[in-house]
Chain A
Amino acid sequence: MTRYVLIVEDSPAMRSFIASAIEALNDFQIVETSNGFEALKVLPRYKFDLILTDINMPDINGLELVSFVKKSTEYSHIPLVIITTEGSEKDQQKGLALGADAYLVKPFKVEVLQKVLKSYLH
C-alpha cells in the first residue's frame, strides 16, 4: 500500500533532503509543497498518512496549518510533525498545544526523521 506524505517547507533544498530521506525508507508517495496555500490545495486530493510542516512561512504559517488540520473533521486524524529550529521553543510549544503530534528540530539526522516516520506509519 502506498502511503502519502505531505511536506510543507519553503526551502527546495530542505524539501529534497527530507524527500530523499523518506524515499530511502519504503513505498511512499511524497507530495511537496512550498507554502500553506499549496498545502491547503493538495490536502483534499490525497489521503495523506503524515504531514511534515515547517513553521516559519509567509502568509499561512505552520502553526496555522496545524490548527487548521487538527480542527478539521477530515484531516484531524493525520499525524502531523512540525519542523522547527533551535531557539524557537515557544513555537514548538504552541505547535504541540495546537495538536501537532511531534516536532523535529533542525538540523536533524536522517535517522531521526526516519525513526519518527516509522513510529507514525506502520
Chain B
Amino acid sequence: MAKKESKISKKALQEFQSEAEEIVEKLYHNIVDLEESSKKGKVDPDSLNDTFRAAHSLKGVAGMFGFSQIEALSHNLESILDSLRLGKIQLEPEIFALLDESVGLLSKIIGASGKEGAEEKDQIEALIGKLDQRFQEYSSSEKASPLEELKIDESIISVLTEYEEHRLLENIREGINIFRVRAGFDLQSFDQGLAELNQLLKPLGEIITTLPSSSGVADSEINFDIILGTKKDRKFLENTIEWKNVSFTQIETGKVEKEEEASPEKLKPGEGSAEEEGLSLKSISQTVRVDINKLDNIMNIVGELLLSKAVISELTERLRMEKGFSGVAVDFYKANRGLERKLNELQEGVMEVRMVPLHQIFEKLSRVIRKLTKDSGKEVELEISGADTELDKLIVEALGDPLIHIIRNCLDHGIETPEERKRKGKPKKGTIKINAFPKGNHVVIEVEDDGSGIDLTRISEVVVEKGLIEPGIQLGKEELLEFLFMPGFSTKKEISKISGRGVGLDVVKSNISSMSGMIRIESEENKGAKVILTLPITLAIIKALIITTCGRTYAIPLNSIQESLMITSQEIKTVEGREVIQLRDQTLSLLRLNHLFALPGESPSVEQYFVVVVSLAERRLGILVEGLLGQQDVVVKSIGEPLVGVRGIGGATELGNKTTVLVLDVGGLIEESMRL
C-alpha cells in the first residue's frame, strides 16, 4: 500500500508549480501597481514589503525543490526588493525595467516547468549579472541602522524583523508618534477582535507589528501589543477607540535627525518600462484560489435574493388573484418565472463552486495509515472507493479530524497483529476499506476494517460496572454500541481494554453532529467493524418545510423528511410511555417539540395533527405538529452561544416576512428522542 516516493514528489512539484505561478502573477501585479503609485509619488510601504515577500517565498520554494536558476534569479530580485523596502535604494525607471525583465523571465521559466533552454540560460545569467551589479552599487552606500541609539524598549526591538525595524525608524524620522496599543482578548475569538481593532487603527497610521503575550493574563485570555505609528496623540486615540480592554502608551523615541535623503515614498516620476520584452504571463493551470469566506458571502447574498424572490412570488400571486390571469398579471408572472429560473441556476452555480471531491482528505488518510503501520508492525491494505464524491468544502475540511480518529481506532484496536490474524485463519494483511457514495441529498462515508470487531460482552460488563444499567437487563447490539459514543464512557481504563474503539468517539460524534451528520457503528466479532457517516452535501442553502407547533414556527430540512401525513388524535397510541402511531404496518415513535425543548404551556389538544416523518441513516421519527406552512429555500445561519448546546437545533434562518425561526437538526432530534 505504500505509495512510491516519486508520486509524492510529483504532487509536491505540482504544488510548487501552482504556487510559483501565483507568486509570479502577484509580482507582476504588484510591480505594475508600484510603478503606478511611484508616478503619483506615493508608495505604500506595505505593498513594497508584500512584493519583497513574494520574491522571498519564490526563492525559498525554488531552493527547496532544486530549481537553481529560478532560485538564483529570484534571489537577486529579492535583494533588490529588500533594499527598496528598507529604503536603501529608490524606485527609479531603471529599477522598474529590471524588475519587469526579471518577472518576465521567471514567468517564462516557470511556464516551461522550470526547464530552461540554452537561450533562457544566457538571459538569466545576463540578468543576474545586471541585478547584482545594481545591488552592489547601492549597497555600498548603505548606512548602519541607528535604531540602537534610540531609547526604545528592548523587548520591542528584540522581536522586530529587519524590515519592521526600518519601518519603525522611518516613522520616527518623520516625527510620527509611536504607541504601544495593548489589547486583551479571549483566546477563543481573538482573531476577530484583533481584526476589528486593526480596522480601526489602520486609518490612523501604520501598524508596524503585533506582538502576542500571555504573561499576566488568565489562561483563556491573550494580550497583544500593537506597535502603531500615528500622527494623532493619545487623547485622540483614547476617544476614538473606546474599548474597555485596550490601552495606549506612547513610546519614548528620543530625537532623530530628519534626513533630507529621499525615502521610498518620495519618488521621481518614472518613464517607460520594459514592455517590449513581451511578458508572457499566461498561466498554465486554469484555476483560481478563492477564500471560502468570499463564497460564503456570495451564498448569503444568493440566500437573501431567494427571500426577495419569495416576496415577489407572493405579490405576483396576489396580483393574479385580484386582476385575474390577464394583462399585467401575466407579464408579471412570466417575469417572475424567468427570475426564478436564473436564481436557481445561480444558486446551483455557487453551490458547485463550493464542492470539492473527497480525495484530498482520503490522501491524507492514506498518509496517516502509512505512518501508523510503519510503527505498529501491523500490515494493512487500504482500499479506497468513491473518492470522487463531492461535498461542500467546509464539510470536507471539518471531516479530516474525525476520519483520522476513526482510522486510528481501526489500526490501533481493530486490525490484529499478523501473528494473531494467522491464528484466526485470516490473511496476514488486514484491510481497511473507505467507501464514499452519494445518497439523495447526503453523502455516506463508510470506514470498514476486517479486524477483531468490538467486544460487546465487555461493553455490557462495563455498562453494568459503571451502574449505567441494572444487571440482568439484556441490551441489543445496537444499544450497546451506542454507549461507545457516550462522553466519558470511553476515556476510562476499563474500556480501553476492550477493542478500545471508545477512545474519543464522543468527540467524533459531536463533530459529525455539528455538521448535521450522523454516525453509526456496525460490528461483528472477529469479522470486523464498520463506521458509517452520513453527511449533508452542503450546509449553505437548503430547502426546508416550515411548520408550527404550540404557536411557534420551525424549519425542518427537507432532505431528511420522508413524508408528512395527517392523523387524528385517536390514532396516537402509547406504548411503554412513548407516543407512537401505526404507519403502514410499522410502529413510528412520535416526538412533541414542546416536550423536547421544555417549552412552557400545555400541549395543545387538537383533533387533527400533522406528522412529519423524518429519517436519517435508517432511523425514523415522527414529529407532531399542528400546522404546515409550506416549503422554502432557507439559508441556515449558525446561532449564538446560548443555544449552541441545545441538541436538536441546527441553526436559525430568516423567512421572507422578516421573522427569524429556528432550523431543526434532524440527527440531533432522533438521538434526543431515543433518550427521552
List residues of chain A with CB under 8 Å of any chain B CB.
Answer: 10-14, 16-17, 20, 23, 26-28, 36-37, 40-41, 44, 55-56, 58-61, 63-68, 71-74, 85-88, 90-91, 94, 97-98, 106-108
Given A10-B57, A13-B15, A71-B215: A90 touches B65 (CB 8 Å cut-off) = no
Contact B19 A27, beta carbon cutoff 8 Å:
no
Given A40-B212, A61-B209, A64-B210: A94 touches B15 (CB 8 Å cut-off) = no
Show 27 residue pairs from A and B whose CB-CB distance is below 8 angstroms, ordered by the A residue.
Answer: A10-B57, A11-B57, A11-B60, A13-B19, A13-B64, A14-B60, A14-B64, A17-B65, A23-B371, A27-B372, A36-B212, A40-B222, A56-B163, A60-B209, A60-B210, A63-B160, A67-B159, A67-B213, A73-B214, A74-B219, A85-B59, A86-B75, A90-B162, A91-B161, A97-B158, A98-B159, A106-B63
Given A37-B191, A94-B158: A68 touches B213 (CB 8 Å cut-off) = yes
Closest-by-CB residue of A relative to B145 is A90
Contact A107 B64, beta carbon cutoff 8 Å:
yes
Our pick among B12, B57, B65, B161 for the contact of A61 (Cβ within 8 Å) is B161
List residues of chain B with CB under 8 Å of any chain A CB.
Answer: 8, 11-12, 15-16, 19-20, 53, 56-57, 59-61, 63-65, 71, 75, 79, 155, 158-164, 187, 190-191, 194, 209-215, 219, 222, 367, 370-372, 374-375
Closest-by-CB residue of B relative to A75 is B214
Our pick among A55, A71, A97, A107 for the contact of B71 (Cβ within 8 Å) is A107
CB-CB nearest 8 A-B residue pairs? A107-B63, A13-B19, A63-B159, A68-B212, A72-B214, A13-B61, A13-B16, A27-B375
Contact B64 A64, beta carbon cutoff 8 Å:
no
B residues less than 8 Å from A85 (CB atoms): 56, 59-60
B residues less than 8 Å from A17 (CB atoms): 12, 61, 64-65
A residues less than 8 Å from B163 (CB atoms): 56
B residues less than 8 Å from A65 (CB atoms): 212
Contact B159 A61, beta carbon cutoff 8 Å:
yes
Contact B187 A44, beta carbon cutoff 8 Å:
yes
Known: A14-B64, A40-B212, A63-B159. 11 other contacts (CB 8 A): A16-B12, A37-B190, A37-B191, A60-B212, A61-B161, A63-B160, A64-B209, A85-B59, A106-B60, A106-B63, A107-B71
A58 to chain B, nearest CB (A): 8
Contact A63 B214, beta carbon cutoff 8 Å:
no
A55 to B56 CA separation, bound complex (whole angstroms): 11
Contact B375 A64, beta carbon cutoff 8 Å:
no
Given A10-B57, A36-B212, A44-B187: A67 touches B158 (CB 8 Å cut-off) = yes
Contact B367 A23, beta carbon cutoff 8 Å:
yes
B12, B53, B155, B211: most-surrounded residue (chain A CB, <10 A): B211
A36 to B224 CA separation, bound complex (whole angstroms): 12
A residues less than 8 Å from B187 (CB atoms): 40, 44
Our pick among B12, B161, B367 for the contact of A55 (Cβ within 8 Å) is B161
Contact A16 B162, beta carbon cutoff 8 Å:
no
Closest-by-CB residue of B relative to A110 is B64
Given A26-B375, A56-B53, A107-B63: A68 touches B214 (CB 8 Å cut-off) = yes
Closest-by-CB residue of B relative to A109 is B64
Closest-by-CB residue of B relative to A41 is B191
A79 to B15 CA separation, bound complex (whole angstroms): 29
Our pick among B12, B212, B215, B374 for the contact of A64 (Cβ within 8 Å) is B212
Contact B60 A107, beta carbon cutoff 8 Å:
yes
Contact B61 A88, beta carbon cutoff 8 Å:
no
Contact A13 B65, beta carbon cutoff 8 Å:
yes
A residues less than 8 Å from B79 (CB atoms): 87
Contact B8 A61, beta carbon cutoff 8 Å:
no
A55 to B158 CA separation, bound complex (whole angstroms): 13
A62 to B79 CA separation, bound complex (whole angstroms): 20
Closest-by-CB residue of A relative to B226 is A59
Contact B214 A71, beta carbon cutoff 8 Å:
yes
Our pick among B162, B213, B215, B371 for the contact of A27 (Cβ within 8 Å) is B371
Our pick among A27, A64, A87 for the contact of B211 (Cβ within 8 Å) is A64
A residues less than 8 Å from B15 (CB atoms): 12-13, 16
Our pick among B60, B164, B215 for the contact of A72 (Cβ within 8 Å) is B215
B residues less than 8 Å from A16 (CB atoms): 11-12, 15
A residues less than 8 Å from B374 (CB atoms): 26-27
B415 to chain A, nearest CB (A): 16
A residues less than 8 Å from B20 (CB atoms): 13
Given A13-B16, A44-B187: A94 touches B371 (CB 8 Å cut-off) = no
A residues less than 8 Å from B19 (CB atoms): 11-13
A40 to B222 CA separation, bound complex (whole angstroms): 9
Closest-by-CB residue of A relative to B195 is A37
A105 to chain B, nearest CB (A): 10
Given A27-B375, A85-B59: A59 touches B65 (CB 8 Å cut-off) = no
B255 to chain A, nearest CB (A): 25
B4 to chain A, nearest CB (A): 13
A39 to B163 CA separation, bound complex (whole angstroms): 22
B152 to chain A, nearest CB (A): 14
A65 to B212 CA separation, bound complex (whole angstroms): 7
Given A44-B187, A90-B162: A14 touches B61 (CB 8 Å cut-off) = yes
A19 to chain B, nearest CB (A): 9
B6 to chain A, nearest CB (A): 12
A residues less than 8 Å from B211 (CB atoms): 60, 64, 67-68
A56 to B56 CA separation, bound complex (whole angstroms): 9
Contact B162 A11, beta carbon cutoff 8 Å:
no
Contact A91 B162, beta carbon cutoff 8 Å:
yes
A86 to B60 CA separation, bound complex (whole angstroms): 10
A98 to B371 CA separation, bound complex (whole angstroms): 34
Given A13-B12, A106-B63: A63 touches B161 (CB 8 Å cut-off) = yes
Closest-by-CB residue of A relative to B82 is A87
Closest-by-CB residue of B relative to A28 is B371
A33 to chain B, nearest CB (A): 12
A53 to chain B, nearest CB (A): 13
A14 to B371 CA separation, bound complex (whole angstroms): 21
A63 to B160 CA separation, bound complex (whole angstroms): 7
B194 to chain A, nearest CB (A): 8
A122 to chain B, nearest CB (A): 15
B residues less than 8 Å from A44 (CB atoms): 187
A86 to B74 CA separation, bound complex (whole angstroms): 13
B383 to chain A, nearest CB (A): 21
A residues less than 8 Å from B12 (CB atoms): 13, 16-17, 20
Contact B214 A98, beta carbon cutoff 8 Å:
no
A99 to B71 CA separation, bound complex (whole angstroms): 30
A99 to chain B, nearest CB (A): 10
Closest-by-CB residue of B relative to A108 is B64
A72 to B214 CA separation, bound complex (whole angstroms): 6
A27 to B214 CA separation, bound complex (whole angstroms): 31
Our pick among A56, A68, A87 for the contact of B161 (Cβ within 8 Å) is A56
A72 to chain B, nearest CB (A): 5
B residues less than 8 Å from A73 (CB atoms): 214
A residues less than 8 Å from B159 (CB atoms): 61, 63-64, 66-67, 94, 98
